[in-house]
Structure 1
């Protein structure tokens, strides 16, 4: 049966414990329970997504550096051959495109170094944004290799890991971990 407005039901239903009293099953003083550790302001343990993003960054850096060294060896051979002739095996060499290839190869070296540095910093929780920048540079390099030099399937495959790294590094657990290390 419902009570009309302004009347209290029989019994002590609306009265809480007095100041300093411990409610049944509650905390002394009637206060709120302590906050869970992840919201207490102290450092939190490193989430698995941060570790995974850092490991993927190291793997991507290794693949990038291996591919870059192979490409640089090839560009070196082509450059040496073009010094002697204008074409190799009947194929004309575009020296401007070769220069762009060299620039992208040096960009690959820089990108690989950024991935390693960003992975280390992300593991320590001090600079996750560096990992985001490194992954963005890798995606940009893959797009440029594909668009300018026709990098083919290798460029597409090498773009997958940086996209995964971006998703993990920009996720909530990674941001909480970094924020707990800053404060």
Structure 2
């Protein structure tokens, strides 16, 4: 059987160069940052800001309260020093959690977050649960728990894991 236009049968790549590169979705190269990662990072920044504001206001109030205390009472009202110590601990943990949220958000945007953002969001959820348990409700604690839950879900999702895995080779 003859070949049309005088072509010779033989090697497929003879004279044609190499095979084209695989499409980006099948290559092992870096994946573009998904919207869920950006959203999780932005929510972590917003949560960090709100936590910082609440923690600083609480610390200012506790400092004023400690300065006004005389012999374990303020204006004749007894003050539970154990509760005050617990509030100081919660405010310090809130500051640490806000720092972790900022750090985790920045690392998430670069694709190298690891478990930092997950730990920070989980710490914020635990803080909100403690506030709920301490004050038997509290709309503020419930509202402040929403963003870390969304951040946690988004940072544990498939697109976030794929984005992070694609960046491990470059880091």
Do the two structures share a fold, i.e. TM-score over 0.5?
yes
Give the number of aligned pairs: 157
Alignment equivalent of 2:33, drawn from 31, 35, 46: 46
* Uncovered stretches (5+) of structure 2, i.e. residues with no partner: 1-9
4+ long deviations beyond 4 Å: 19-22
Q: Counterparts of 2:61 and 2:132 in 1: how far apart (Å)?
A: 17
**Given that residues 72 and 81 in structure 2 are in contact (C-alpha distance below 8 angstroms), is that contact kept between their aligned partners in structure 1?**
no
Question: What SS is found at the alignment partner of 1:137?
Answer: helix
| Aligned CA distance change for structure 1 residues 151 and 102 (closer, same or farther; 3 Å) | farther
RMSD: 2.3
Check if 1:70 corresponds to 2:57: yes
Q: Deviations over 1:116-162 (max 9, x none)?
A: 00000000001242111100010011111221255711111111000
Q: Which moved more, 1:53-62 or 1:141-150?
A: 141-150
* Uncovered stretches (5+) of structure 1, i.e. residues with no partner: 1-18, 23-27
Deviation at 1:40, TM superposition (A): 1.0
Provide TM-score, normalisation by structure 2. Answer: 0.83
Larger relative contact order (Cα-Cα within 8 Å, sequence gap ≥ 6): 2
Q: Counterparts of 2:150 and 2:47 in 1: how far apart (Å)?
A: 11
Alignment equivalent of 1:86, drawn from 66, 72, 77: 72
Provide TM-score, normalisation by structure 1. Answer: 0.78
